[in-house]
């Protein structure tokens, strides 16, 4: 088979990438721009893409194309209706990143909740060596024990986050963005109730017509001024300009985002202009990307090709 991986740099250098070669000749492109896609898939029978968009027009011109493997869970970069009409099978990989995203969620939260970077810098600056006491009481931090931990979107990732929050002694509540998820061992609240009650709000929902700008100015006004907002779900769920304003006006204590309305983030994003940068933690859409998760992702792609060819 003639196999083309359009954006291999998005999964990094993995030991199992070469396993894809067992199915035929594989061409790895590190990145592919929109004007390069047509030429690169022209003779391909199998195309692997993480984020490169495959439109109806592109698929119609790729006359040999039989299978599209999405190296991700989300499938919004492929015109699925057109693929079906053109008899091109599309397969994604689900469930590979749940542990990675849950771990990253708490890494970002603790970065906000407990100022490790401050303490580290305090010691390395030499100031601790001059201290008349054995510790440092300049900044307060709090425990998760006894706090209300609100989760927006209680799917596979949300449930893992919930279990970790419970292990720290937090009370978990959740909001179902679909309105259908009721059979859970946690208290289900409406969004306004969750925002008002929670000390931590963690978003693990897909981006769709129900969740676009779900958390904006009105919602920030409901939150406790001591609360933290974490988004490892999808950019566009949180209105970024209004988040920046809410942080500046003290409507919440801090926020952490791994996903953004535009990726990569725009250089003039209002998030870069908040008055106190310590209130905001930003990471470049890497919550999903532990070494283990990326390795499992490629194994999922390999299995999808194997099943297609069986």
CA separation for the pair 184, 186 (Å, rounded): 5
**Which residue is catalytic, options 263, 266, 292, 306?**
263
**Which residue is catalytic, options 40, 159, 234, 239?**
234
Nearest-10 crossing angle of helices 98-113, 156-167: 40
234 as an active site residue: the answer is yes
Taking only Cα atoms into account, the Rg of the chain, rounded to an integer number of angstroms, comes to 22
CA–chain centroid gap for 163, Å, is 18
For residue 212, the SS3 value is coil
| Widest distance between CA atoms in the chain | 76
Cα–Cα distance list, 198 to 36, 146, 167, 173, 178 (Å): 47, 11, 17, 8, 20
Whether the Cβ atoms of residue 70 and residue 26 lie closer than 8 Å to each other: no
Buried b (16+ CB within 10 A) or exposed e, 145-179: eebbbbbbbbbbbbbbbbebbeeeebbbbbbbbee
249 as an active site residue: the answer is no
Phi, psi of 57 (to 5 degrees): -60, -45
**Which residue is catalytic, options 40, 159, 239, 285?**
285
Residue (of 223, 219, 239, 242) closest to 231 by Cα position: 239
Residue (of 307, 306, 296) closest to 71 by Cα position: 296
What's the burial of 84, exposed, middle or buried (CB within 10 Å: 0-12/13-18/19+)?
exposed
Cis peptide before 264 (omega within 30 of 0): yes
CA separation for the pair 195, 219 (Å, rounded): 7
- DSSP code, position 227: -
Which residues are identified as catalytic? 234, 263, 285
């Amino acid at each position: 088979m003639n196999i083309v991986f359009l954006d291999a740099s998005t999964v990094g250098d993995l030991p199992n990438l070469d396993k894809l070669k067992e199915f035929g000749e594989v061409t790895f492109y590190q990145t592919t721009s929109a004007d390069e896609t047509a030429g690169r898939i022209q003779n391909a029978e199998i195309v692997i893409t993480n984020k490169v968009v495959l439109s109806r027009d592109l698929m119609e011109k790729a006359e040999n194309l039989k299978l599209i493997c999405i190296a991700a869970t989300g499938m919004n970069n492929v015109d699925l209706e057109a693929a079906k009409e053109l008899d091109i099978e599309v397969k994604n990989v689900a469930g590979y990143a749940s542990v990675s995203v849950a771990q990253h969620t708490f890494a970002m939260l603790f970065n906000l909740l407990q100022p490790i970077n401050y303490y580290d810098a305090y010691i390395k600056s030499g100031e601790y060596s001059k201290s008349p006491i054995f510790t440092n009481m300049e900044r307060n931090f709090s425990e998760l024990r006894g706090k209300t931990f609100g989760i927006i979107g209680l799917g596979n990732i949300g449930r893992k986050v919930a279990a970790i929050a419970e292990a720290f002694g937090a009370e978990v509540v959740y909001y179902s963005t679909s309105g259908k998820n009721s059979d859970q061992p946690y208290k289900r609240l409406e969004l306004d109730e969750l925002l008002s009650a929670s000390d931590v709000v963690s978003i693990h929902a897909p981006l769709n017509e129900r969740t676009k700008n779900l958390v904006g100015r009105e919602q920030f006004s409901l939150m406790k001024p001591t609360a933290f907002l974490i988004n490892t779900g999808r950019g566009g769920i949180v209105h970024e300009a209004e988040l920046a304003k809410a942080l500046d006006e003290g409507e919440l204590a801090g926020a952490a985002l791994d996903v953004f309305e535009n990726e990569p983030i725009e250089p003039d994003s209002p998030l870069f202009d908040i008055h106190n940068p310590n209130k905001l933690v930003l990471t470049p859409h890497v919550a999903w990307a532990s070494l283990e998760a990326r390795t499992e992702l490629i194994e999922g792609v390999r299995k999808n090709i194997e099943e297609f060819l069986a």
